[in-house]
Structure 1
């Protein structure tokens, strides 16, 4: 029976294919006793399975790197590798086998359930959801133990791809699908920043998440249509609907082909206002995407992905090579490198790491850097050494107090003096900027005057902190609203104040890469947009057909609106 269900659209495009259900039933394992003389063999069987999974994850990490997949993918794989080495998981399962003479599968699942129960007691929503990583890595070990690698169905003769339907997907699973004929992803849980969403956008695979019971509602091999732009899922559609969506998909593919013709067209408005279109990246592997879109430079290099999911933190030389590679590859174009923004949803594996009741409001970003001066000094030295190879701009994240900025500037000056004394080559001038992510900073731009030369609006966190919601929690994700009147006033006020004080201002959050908001931001006076490289050409198309002199007064009228429905309607009219 045909039906339609709505979820959260997290990766654009249209997919038509047959369902393949990724089952969690593998964790419902049998429990049996092992003869005492076979206990050592059972422990050895567990160790062999863990070694096989470790090799599998290592191969997936290499696959992710070779395909220039999103930087977070490697970090998530590393996290599962760390879990495999955690004595609370595998060592405890070995002890269960030895003490209770049970089979390895049952021991792993018992220890998993014990750890999941501990995670569920944690108040912070992000850390609580890390229980999913424990479940996913145990599922891999159980698959290896019972000889069930979870192969995907073979390529179909009808030309249609496979739609993966699951309760949730790990990034390792998702990357593993890359070489198969995968058309799209559907999951019960998740939001715009979930694992599935991140990897689906990177691989340009349509995806809808937060469907709650899709895994129960769909049958294996059932025909499905995904509209990853509107968040619509149609199960068992009739032939007329399939043909309609085939036509829509062809139109989208034609549109993408046409966008490529804009690659070398200068980015400017109809009235001649030049606009910089910059890229957000996670590492050197993203340089190919920057070149494909011919972006004007890098507006945000997220360095924390060099640090995440590893037991040994990167040293000065490793960081220097990563930064230098990007600067050399983009010689002559600005590269804005953000100092590591860890904490909240991006945790490091460090000894004696304190447990925070609310990491999003705790020791994160510049606060973390100043609390770990040796780590910060190492990164600053690497950055300044790399400055000799291109146009480097250093950006300090989540500044809320002027003291934080002053301390950071002092450490930059000290690192510069050290390197010059050691006869290292450093650029004569390196611009320093601040990231505006909290309302306190947006409302007091004057304190940045004479301290920094540029500002960058991180709209993802600015919206989260302004509206007091956790943007990773699908229970409140519907309240995450870029068009809330308070949010728009903060964004517009920052752009206007920064420009008035002689500082360049960019937007590097999700709003910058959304064509629905391009003209709104332009009308506020924005001249630098920074986004995922795959969005650059679509935003350029919007700008080429926009007239700033006509938009500015219309946007000012929108900013005076207090009624959300009226405001939203006006913004949509502006975009179309």
Structure 2
């Protein structure tokens, strides 16, 4: 039944399937009502995209998505499925839009292949809009059951989700990354017959999945939760364990106390919650609450990191890297730096991290802009520490360019892709993957130690038990990990000390 655990943890709730919503039987009781529901929702989504479009005049991606919404063939296909197959509007649309994705999947042109993400994102946006009535009826914790975990599912249903079952997925996918940061267990399962009235207990620590558990089993789950909380209290020093965080929800105080701070705050996901850049005031509010909650422990805010499957709706094709800060979305980047400087006046535990750097010029460009803004607004405190994320082949090959960085973070996900062509869907033997990555990580760590620069390992590799044990043997000190791995990381560190 269980193929793998992508995010450890324990969850209990009622089954909730988006593809076949638990409150709909997919049969449209009135085809005309369903067709009208589809047309009205489509129009509302189009208007939302239009409002986003006014934020930036030259917008290729929004235009592409709007063209799909206006496609009469798509609308006719949805209507036909509602009338002849008696599908609800949301299911008819999901079936029809898959044709776009299938067509683009067969195209060889890399640029057109990127359109798959745009279509998939539009599909989820409209599907969830069609599903709002269902969402409003959720009154208790749920175990989300989906084919693939899209980030938009978490943004829409986060308050209710206590666990997630997927039929396919990778620990490197952004949906799973977000689930880990929210301490939500995720399991990959084979086809399981789950209906709307079933309750599910899932234990990612012990690879256990129970449908309709008994009262005794639920009581056992509650006891195991209490035992797991005690595990958080064990010491791990002198090693450092930081947390990966995104979104707006504050962290469970137990994890704040048990960790050494935030090693990676993924700020770009603030954009995806509303599909619009947050204002300066909103950023001050969100970043500020984490700086306050963790004070005096450090909080590292990574500036926007778009690209791959994280493409904003109101930006054109991205190259990823610092150049996009000054070309594609300069205004939002300036606003982000301004918000961080405002917070730096009140909190001395703020650090700023620049992703996807390639050389010294990238670090200098950002620090220069910070200095200009600092002078423009007349801030009194010195600039916060500015570090870089080593995750490109260029940065790895020219580490000496970053001797002036306040700290280094190793972005193992993109570094693995850059050095070894390990992408988010790659399937590789655990030990082979660990050996490849740890060798490169050790080289960066040794450089950092030689130049007395703090260095932290981020990304998926830091939360892999085999790889973590190997890195501990190499005397690598600091790791930024998702919350579900914190207890296990402490145990691995304890065992490592015992062996020494």
Determine if the TM-score, normalized by the shorter chain, exceeds 0.5. yes
Shift of 1:138: 4.8
CA contact (8 A) 2:171 2:460 kept: no
| Of 403-412 and 135-144, the range deviating more from structure 2 | 135-144
Q: 1:255-283 CA distances to partner (integer Å, 9 max, x unpaired)?
A: 40322444xx5x42xxxxx2333222224
Note the C-alpha offset of 1:170.
5.0
| Deviation of 1:393 (Å) | 1.7
2:56 equivalent in structure 1: none
Which runs of 5 or more residues in structure 1 are unaligned? Answer: 35-40, 58-81, 156-160, 269-273, 355-361, 552-576
- Residue number in structure 1 paired with 2:55: none
1:333 aligns with 2:283: no
Secondary structure at the aligned position of 1:7 is classed as strand
2:186 counterpart residue number: 207
Q: Distance in 1 between matches of 2:470 and 2:453?
A: 20
Which residue does 2:413 correspond to in 1?
460
1:409 corresponds in structure 2 to 367
How much has 1:480 moved relative to structure 2?
A: 7.6
* Residues 264 and 299, structure 2, Cα contact 8 Å, conserved in 1: yes
CA displacement at 1:494 relative to structure 2 = 1.0
**Cα 1:16–1:121 shift into 2, 3 Å:** same
Q: Which has the larger radius of gyration?
A: 1
User: Which digits, 9 at most, give the CA deviation of each residue in 1:505-546, with x for residues without a partner?
Assistant: 111223334454444323323232222245434433443454
The worse-fitting range, judged by mean Cα deviation, of 248-257 and 380-389 is 248-257
3-state SS of 2:250 partner? helix
Which stretch has the larger CA shift, 333-342 or 406-415?
406-415
| 1:313-462 equivalence runs, <5 A | 313-350=277-314, 353-354=316-317, 363-372=319-328, 373-391=330-348, 392-420=350-378, 425-449=379-403, 451-462=404-415
- Provide the aligned length of Structure 1 versus Structure 2: 472
1:18-46 residue CA offsets vs partner (Å, 9 max, x unmatched):
9776655989888x998xxxxxx998654
On the 8 A contact 1:22/1:166 being kept in 2, the answer is: yes
Normalized against structure 1, the TM-score is what? 0.65
Instruction: Tell me the C-alpha RMSD between the 2 structures.
Output: 4.9
Aligned twin of 1:8: 4
Distance, in Å, in 2 between the alignment partners of 1:302 and 1:257 is 26
Paired position in structure 1 for 2:51: none
Partner of 2:447: 497
C-alpha separation in 2, matches of 1:331 and 1:205: 25
Name which of structure 1's ranges 391-400 and 250-259 shifts more when overlaid on structure 2: 250-259
Asked if the contact 1:13/1:249 (under 8 Å) is kept, the reply is no
Q: Which residue of 1 aligns with 2:52?
A: none
Kept after mapping to 1: 8 A contact 2:359/2:398: no
- After TM superposition, the score normalised by the length of structure 2 is 0.74
1:120 matched to 2:105: yes
**1:235–1:506 Cα change, 3 Å:** same
The answer (yes or no) to whether the contact 2:388–2:409 under 8 Å persists in 1 is yes
Contact 1:324-1:387 within 8 A present in 2 as well: no
Distance in 2 between the 1:414 and 1:48 partners?
48
Deviation at 1:491, TM superposition (A): 0.7
Corresponding residue SS for 1:434: strand
Provide closer, same or farther for how the CA distance between residues 498 and 320 of structure 1 changes in structure 2, counting only shifts above 3 A: same
Give the direction of change, closer, same or farther, for the CA distance of 1:547–1:499 in structure 2 (3 Å limit): same
Alignment partners' CA distance in 1, 2:294 and 2:402? 28
- Describe the shift of the 1:19–1:133 C-alpha distance in structure 2 as closer, same or farther (beyond 3 A): same
Distance (whole Å) between structure 2 residues aligned to residue 230 and residue 16 of structure 1: 15
Unmatched runs of 5 consecutive residues or more in structure 2: 49-60
CA-to-partner distance for each residue in 1:59-80, whole Å, 9 max, x for gaps? xxxxxxxxxxxxxxxxxxxxxx
